[in-house]
Amino acid sequence: MPRSYRSRGRYLAYAVQGLILLNVGYSLWIWDIFLALVGMFGFFLTTVPYIVSRRAEICMPWEVNLLIALSLYLHVAGHISDYYVVFAPYYDKIAHFVSSITISVLGFVLVLLVDRYSGLRLTRPMIVFFIVISTMGLGALWEIYEYLFDTLFATALQHGLDDTMTDLIFDLFGAVIIAAVGNFYLRRLTKEEITALFLKPGTKKEL
């Protein structure tokens, strides 16, 4: 992949991180400290891949970093800029879909790393199943978070059973798409070849 293409990709991820900081600045401008803290926490999560890459042999492609930043931006802006309400119900569904794609990709990477560095030897169906079930599990936890947030802070993140179930269906769509893509590559490449895409060059198999 050309260096200029990778550089443009990294800058795109940085730009999305900048949008999160703009939302934080807006929260401080209107003196909503709680939302500012929510935004700062979201921004911190976008920096985790960079922190991990400095301390471990893992090196996420810029596309994954962009997905992480975009997912967090959608949720931060949904809270701070009230997009969840302004663009209801479509904004929430888009946010869930993008987040499920991101979580599924991270789940795929995680299970490949576990397979590489542990005594487990996971089969292709096991990996595909893990991608779907882990994404759906985290999607369910997110719905619990929205319920608790609405209960404690009198917000309106959830709009009844239909809204919750539609969110979970969008989570499932995202998980199935990445599971299908993962299955496609696992049929054509070895697990070691795919895992190498997420590791620094020359990384040994041992921890």
Instruction: Extract the tokens encoding 7.
Output: 């550089």
Q: Confirm whether 204 is domain-assigned.
A: no
Average pLDDT over residues 59-78: 93
Residue 17 has what pLDDT?
A: 97
Residue 24 belongs to some domain of the structure:
yes
> For residue 3, is pLDDT > 80?
no
Share of the chain above pLDDT 90, in %: 60
pLDDT category at 76 given cuts 50, 70, 90 is very high
Tell me, yes or no, if the pTM score tops 0.75.
Answer: yes
Q: Is residue 185 part of a domain?
A: yes
Asked if the structure places residue 207 within a domain, the reply is no
User: How many other CB atoms are there within 10 angstroms of residue 44's CB atom?
Assistant: 12
Give the distance, in angstroms, between the CA of residue 95 and the centroid of all CA atoms in the same chain: 10
Distance CA 202, CA 79 (A): 42
Q: Please give the Cα distance from 23 to 43 (Å, whole number).
A: 10
- State residue 58 phi and psi, 5-degree precision: -80, 140
The pLDDT confidence band at residue 53, using thresholds 50, 70 and 90, is confident
Residue 191 lies in a domain: yes
In a domain, 205, yes or no: no
Assigned domain for 203 exists: no
- Whether 2 shows a pLDDT value over 60: the answer reads no
Interatomic CA distance for residues 106 and 134, integer angstroms: 10
Closest CA to 9 of 74, 48, 77, 60: 60
pLDDT at 6 over 70: no
Instruction: Give the pLDDT confidence score for residue 94 in this predicted structure.
Output: 94
pLDDT digits (tens, 9 = 90+) for 146-158: 889 888 877 777 7
- Total structural domains within the chain: 1
pLDDT tens digits, one per residue of 112-145: 999 988 878 899 999 999 999 999 999 999 899 8
Question: Per the domain annotation, does 103 fall within a domain?
Answer: yes
Its domain, for residue 40, covers 3-198
Q: Which amino acid is at 64?
A: V
What's the pLDDT at 187? Answer: 96
Q: Among 73-77, 127-131, 157-161, where is mean pLDDT lowest?
A: 157-161
pLDDT at 79: 87
